[in-house]
Structures are given as C-alpha cells and as structure tokens.
C-alpha cells in the first residue's frame, strides 16, 4: 500500500465518522458556546469542514505565510451548506492525495509568519498533525458541544452510550 492510499483510507473512514456528528448539528445554534472562552458552535463546525483543505494546500504548496494570507471563515448557515462544504473539501483532499506520489510526502513544508518560521516538517507530518489530528481534536470537542445541547452522539468506533440506550429501549418495547 502506498502512502497516499493509506491516507485516503484513513481520511474516508474518519470523515464518515465526522459526517455522522455534523449531520446532528442543530440549525439556528451557530452562536451557541459551551463556555465563554470556547469557539461558537458555527465556528468550530466550519473549522472542522475546512481542515481537509490543509491536505490539499500542503500537497500543492511548499509553505504558508500567515502574514500574507487573508482568511475569513466560511460559516455555514444550514446543515446542507455545512455538509456540502465538508464534502467539497474532502473530495479535493482525496483528489490531491490520489495525485501525490510517495516522494511528495517527504518534501519539507513550512508554516511561517513573515520572517518567523513556526515550523518546517515533511509534508506527511504536516498532513497528520495540522489536518488529520487537528480534525480529530476538534471533532472530540464537538461531541462535548452536542452532549451539552442534549443531542445524542452517534457511535464511531462502536456503539455510543446513546446507541446503547436506544437499543435497550427498543429491546424492552419488543418484550
């Protein structure tokens, strides 16, 4: 298995899990925060949607200079917009990965702010840390947001506590 095939397999499996959560985002709650220091729900979900874009950017560039980039978060207003944004970034990331040969992943990539270099790492490390692990981190945070909004959490690596409760209730009703 090549590096790109392994990353595509992981990205597709984990994106399926991420999508399960995002399908449950309540409409009209974009400004809700679980704590005054936390991101608003709309911001964290939109950030999660953008993270596969780091894969595409990393594979297509040698650096990102935060001093020269202009960034405006794209906040989705509806669930269908949110899922479309996520699917669009995911599809572009899968395409970029599919086009990358193993040698591309060992090339160095730099994050800087003007003359200040924040890090230089092989592209594979940037993809793992700044895209995939970063996405998983915020996905974990999103489960807390949903739990506090009393929204059932879907199972990802097996049944969730909510899945188990529903199964027990169904079994009790069947008897």
pLDDT band at 72 (very low <50, low <70, confident <90, very high): confident
pLDDT band at 102 (very low <50, low <70, confident <90, very high): very high
Helix (H, G, I), strand (E, B) or coil at 12: helix
pLDDT band at 92 (very low <50, low <70, confident <90, very high): very high
pLDDT tens digits, residue range 19-46? 999 999 999 999 999 999 999 999 999 9
pLDDT of residue 134: 97
Listed residue (26, 14, 45) closest to 156, CA to CA = 14
pLDDT tens digits, residue range 3-13? 999 999 999 99
Helices and strands: H and E segment counts in the chain = 8, 3
**Other beta carbons within 10 Å of 64:** 18
Domain ranges of the chain: 3-174
pLDDT of residue 19: 96
- Report the CATH architecture of 3-174: Up-down Bundle (1.20)
pTM above 0.85, yes or no: yes
pLDDT band at 75 (very low <50, low <70, confident <90, very high): confident
Query: How far apart (Å, rounded) are the C-alpha atoms in residues 108 and 9?
Result: 23
Query: How far apart (Å, rounded) are the C-alpha atoms in residues 67 and 51?
Result: 20
Q: Write the burial class of residue 121 (CB in 10 Å: 0-12 exposed, 13-18 middle, 19+ buried).
A: middle
Residue percentage of the chain with pLDDT more than 70: 100
pLDDT band at 170 (very low <50, low <70, confident <90, very high): confident
Question: What 8-state DSSP symbol labels residue 153?
Answer: P
pLDDT exceeds 90 at position 76? no
Residues in the chain: 175
Helix (H, G, I), strand (E, B) or coil at 65: strand
pLDDT tens digits, residue range 103-153? 999 999 999 999 999 999 999 999 999 999 999 999 999 999 999 999 999
pLDDT exceeds 90 at position 71? no
């Amino acid at each position: 298995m090549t590096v790109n095939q392994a990353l595509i397999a992981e990205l597709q499996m984990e994106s399926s899990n991420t999508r399960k959560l995002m399908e449950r985002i309540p409409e009209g709650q974009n400004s809700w925060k679980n704590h005054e220091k936390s991101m608003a729900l709309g911001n964290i979900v939109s950030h999660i949607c953008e993270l596969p874009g780091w894969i595409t950017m990393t594979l297509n560039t040698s650096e990102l200079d935060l001093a020269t980039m202009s960034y405006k978060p794209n906040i989705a207003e509806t669930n269908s917009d949110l899922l479309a944004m996520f699917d669009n970034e995911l599809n572009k990331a899968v395409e970029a990965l599919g086009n990358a040969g193993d040698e591309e992943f060992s090339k160095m990539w730099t994050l800087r702010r003007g003359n200040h270099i924040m890090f230089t790492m092989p592209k594979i490390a940037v993809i793992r840390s700044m895209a995939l692990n970063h996405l998983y981190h915020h996905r974990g945070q999103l489960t807390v947001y949903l739990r506090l909004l009393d929204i059932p959490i879907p199972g990802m690596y097996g049944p969730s506590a909510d899945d188990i409760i529903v199964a027990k209730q169904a079994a009790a009703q069947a008897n």
